[in-house]
Chain A
């Protein structure tokens, strides 16, 4: 904060600059203006190239998903699809329906699991974030430091104990095995707490004076005000759950209980030596990507808004 200059000084510098610019001849001023816009537009052009480069796999994915079989075997291989076809999706939904477990079952499992996890995670994290931010109680410091520590927690590192816990709870081969491991999300609680921190206490005080109880404050004031953070949490959770394959590979043995992530990964594992499977796998992978994309498009602004407060101090 010490570096913050007094407002007068900045105003002074601005006037000085203005003054200096007026001293210069007109064409110099114009050229300066032009140079700025040139560097900006150069940056934009570079960025368009970069964005295209980063998007290459996605573009590729889209094209491959709509490629008919004969285009896969073309030589030299092409990225752009010439005659887009919906056959891959048809095959996925109809042909794969004749297999032991239809594709729609995986899809349904995923949608069901993701939906339930979203609701539960949002509720649990918002409740925890609200209390951690606005209430005072014992062990708060301890809990907060545990959350900070577990921000870096990656479930992959302790797969065995998690498996032991899931199996000892007796929830293998149920939807709970997909949902329960995701409920405690330190990142979600952390983001929520940080966001609620900047909601003024006076608001809650005022509501309390008007006779609102904690439940009312939570449901009618906190959740609406924390909407950006809720959106962010849903994006993060959606991605984590929807792309997860741990639940399907470790906690479930029945094929009917596995999710679309597992199905796609099983398609890709057989992909090493078969070109023919590529487009169907791409179609399935695209179906994995699209919901994520929609979620992000809906909440992008809100997500950045939440990230303003994501700092760890």
Chain B
């Protein structure tokens, strides 16, 4: 009691035993914190940077999303008006951005994910000494990244007869006149999807390769005894359940990759807004409102919607791959 009243005299003068216990506990908590000060010190640089460039930006986006803000004058509070406008008035969003994003995300996300698994699994079947070369070959495009490869894509999908794709297709007689691949709204989306799939064997792919090595090989023998007939059954019943943690990690990486891929339309066409919004994704929509129209409140509302969607997708992946009890 003495100690307590020394530290907290105002509260300590008429405190019940419960309060005293609380204060004692709090003091113990502080002492423990002080004892592990070195841990906090080690963690501090990361935490500061984490707060500054991840946590606070997300919170700020949440705050800005309920304001009207043009980047110069002080933001004014307008409630959920931005979200209502997004759902009811933003024709571009409803007509182009949302369908485009769904198409793009549904193909690139799960598609790229499935491709990385299939390729990782096939590579794992190869003899150990040549695995590395194939890993390198599949991983190389994602290393080059969108910026470096857009040089190549622009030449490949160039609209005149000198364009590589046009030339090949003309020669094969599949098309009669050269197509404006990157300017034609009909094709742009599909090209974006193909190009992004090409570069989707990133960290998630490597994680799966690592995961495949962790699978206990005795399980395969046990499976054979239990009546597993072919390799596909083996992959489905043994391999995937055994590497669930890595599958989950690379699912998260696939979500990030899909989120980041929005810039590809700009890199391909050289335009901030693609022809008749054919390649317009959520991230382009945000950039459009943020850096062309300077409606930062509204842009933040869109980014909050994007964050919420990606969070939900991640929850779904966790549900799908979470390690069940007893496994």
Q: Report the interface size class on chain B.
A: 35 or more
> When chains A and B are docked, how far (Å) is the Cα of A78 from the Cα of B225?
55
What is the 8 Å Cβ interface bit string for chain B, positions 193-234, against chain A (1 contact, 0 not)? 000001001010011011101101011011011000000000
Residue A30 at the B interface, CB < 8 A?
no
- Chain A residues with Cβ under 8 A from B207's Cβ? 307, 310
Q: Report the interface size class on chain A.
A: 35 or more
Within 8 Å by CB of A57, from B127, B152, B291, lies B152
> When chains A and B are docked, how far (Å) is the Cα of A234 from the Cα of B327?
34
* With A4-B218, A61-B152: A157-B162 Cβ-Cβ less than 8 Å: no
* With A58-B140, A310-B207, A311-B211: A76-B171 Cβ-Cβ less than 8 Å: yes
Contact B267–A180 (Cβ < 8 Å): no
* With A124-B49, A181-B53, A281-B151: A300-B136 Cβ-Cβ less than 8 Å: yes
* With A44-B126, A132-B43: A51-B326 Cβ-Cβ less than 8 Å: no
A193 to chain B, nearest CB (A): 11
* With A3-B219, A268-B267: A58-B141 Cβ-Cβ less than 8 Å: yes
Q: Which of B7-15, B76-84, B93-101, B282-290 contacts A (4 or more CB under 8 A)?
A: B282-290
B228 to chain A, nearest CB (A): 12
Contact A184–B49 (Cβ < 8 Å): yes
Residue B38 at the A interface, CB < 8 A?
yes
What are 10 contact pairs spanning A and B, CB under 8 A?
A: A5-B221, A44-B126, A47-B123, A128-B43, A136-B36, A159-B291, A160-B299, A286-B148, A292-B145, A312-B249
Instruction: Mark B residues whose CB is within 8 Å of A.
Output: 29, 32-33, 36, 38-40, 42-43, 45-47, 49-50, 52-58, 60-61, 64, 119, 122-123, 125-127, 130, 132-141, 143-156, 158, 161-164, 167, 171, 182, 198, 201, 203, 206-207, 209-211, 213-214, 216, 218-219, 221-222, 224-225, 243-246, 248-249, 252-253, 255-256, 259-260, 262-263, 267, 269-270, 283, 286-287, 290-291, 296, 299-300, 303, 306-307, 310-311, 314, 318, 321, 323, 326-327
Instruction: Mark A residues whose CB is within 8 Å of B.
Output: 1-5, 7, 9-10, 13-14, 40, 43-44, 47, 50-52, 54-55, 57-58, 60-61, 64, 73, 75-77, 79, 123-125, 127-128, 130-132, 135-138, 143, 146-147, 149-162, 164-165, 180-181, 183-184, 186-187, 189, 214, 218, 236, 239, 243, 245, 250, 261, 264-265, 267-272, 275, 278, 281-282, 285-286, 288-289, 292-293, 296-297, 300-301, 303-313
